[in-house]
Amino acid sequence: MKKVLVARPTFPDVIERLKQYFDVDANLGDVLSQDEFARRLADRDGAFTAGEWVGEKELAGAPNLKVVANMAVGYNNFDMHAFDAHKVLGTNTPNVLNETTADFGWALMMAAARRVTESEHYLRAGKWQKWSFDSFLGTDVYGSTLGVIGMGRIGQALARRAAGFGMRVMYHNRSRVAPEIETELNAEYASKEDLLKRADHVVLVVPYSKESHHTIGAAELALMKPSATLTNIARGGIVDDAALIVALREKRIAAAGIDVFEGEPNFNRDFLALNNVVLTPHIASATESTRRAMANLAADNLIAGLGEGPRAGNPPNPINPDVLKK
Ligand code: GLV
């Protein structure tokens, strides 16, 4: 039997599925230290990860490794050059999380614009004495302009929601999407600068890479309207968190909704002193059915990638399919 490591806890029935095909070392405890992860990976043929860093050192130390299946659509925890060099297949879990993640982006944007968590904290703290005309005035979402940075599958799902809110949609992406998609979404392509100047609600959905590092920093925040909101459901590092904290503190933008952080879970604690930011712990894809779908898809990739099951040799989501050739 081939040997696999499940690097952090996942749904027990998914582990049972893997046990039908493999000798499974399942970590049921805390997130492994990088050294412990590398140690347990060393004799494995495959691994199921959810954010563990897999780079040159880890791959060089695991000579039998053939497949690493990430339970996430983003795979910036994989050094794909090292994967190619070691002929290891990386896989991810696209599509199954699109709508759930777009729902959550929408929820964060709405909560930031309409000051939902800030006003709830006020109520819970027993501060609510009277109704007042100027309590917690927010920014309208209906009829405003949505700016989507990163018009992939999740960005498009967000833009689709905008139609129900009578919003104009602007987007920025490395390349323009097909004209029929622009027409369907009623979305206008714009430079990043133009979008930041004109959008009322900016939502970030770009994958993390060296190129997208700090897509939003002090200079970009300075372009935004003082009434605008910024929502990050992409990855920590897409936003310069320290610059965002300054912009929020100085009310250079109205509010932010942040699900992903630089250095998470050790995020910049200065966020906690701010009322005008909604903070959530990387949960945009977190519904029971979507997380199950992601875990099962990661398992499908691992099973097929290691030559087992109904799709043996043909995993659904190869990131570097060239390593499967010959
Ligand atoms: C979650 O952040 C994912 O990339 O799926």
DSSP class per residue in 296-311: HHHHHHHHHHTT-STT
Tell me which of 101, 153, 206 to substitute to probe ligand 1's pocket, judged by most ligand atoms within 8 Å of the beta carbon: 101
pLDDT digit string, tens, across residues 268-301: 999 999 999 999 999 999 999 999 999 999 999 9
> What is the reported pLDDT for 276?
98
Torsion of CA 148, 150, 156, 162, to 10 degrees: -10
Q: How many whole angstroms from 235 Cα to the centroid of ligand 1?
A: 8
Task: Please say whether the beta carbons of 231 and 147 come within 8 A.
Answer: no
Q: Is the pLDDT of residue 326 over 80?
A: no
In the residue annotation, 214 being an active-site residue is answered as no
Going by C-alpha positions, the residue among 189, 146, 188 that lies closest to residue 166 is: 146
Angle between helices 98-113 and 153-162 (to 10 degrees): 50
Q: Is the pLDDT of residue 201 over 70?
A: yes
* Domains (range + CATH), the chain: 2-94+288-325 (3.40.50.720), 98-279 (3.40.50.720)
Share of the chain above pLDDT 90, in %: 99
As a residue count, the chain comes to 326
Please state the rounded mean pLDDT for residues 117-138.
97
> What is the reported pLDDT for 33?
97
Task: Please say whether the beta carbons of 89 and 315 come within 8 A.
Answer: yes
Q: How many whole angstroms from 72 Cα to the centroid of ligand 1?
A: 4
Task: Please say whether the beta carbons of 223 and 252 come within 8 A.
Answer: no
Please state the rounded mean pLDDT for residues 158-183.
97
DSSP class per residue in 133-193: TTTT-----TTSEEEEE--SHHHHHHHHHHGGGT-EEEEE-SSPPPHHHHHHHTEEE--HH
pLDDT digit string, tens, across residues 141-154: 999 999 999 999 99
Residues 6+ apart with CB under 8 A from 121: 275
Distance, C-alpha 31 to centroid of its chain: 19
Please state the rounded mean pLDDT for residues 36-60.
98
> What is the reported pLDDT for 20?
98
Q: Whose CA is nearest to atom 1 of ligand 1?
A: 72
> What is the reported pLDDT for 271?
98
SS3 231: strand
Dist. CA 181–CA 261, nearest whole Å:
31
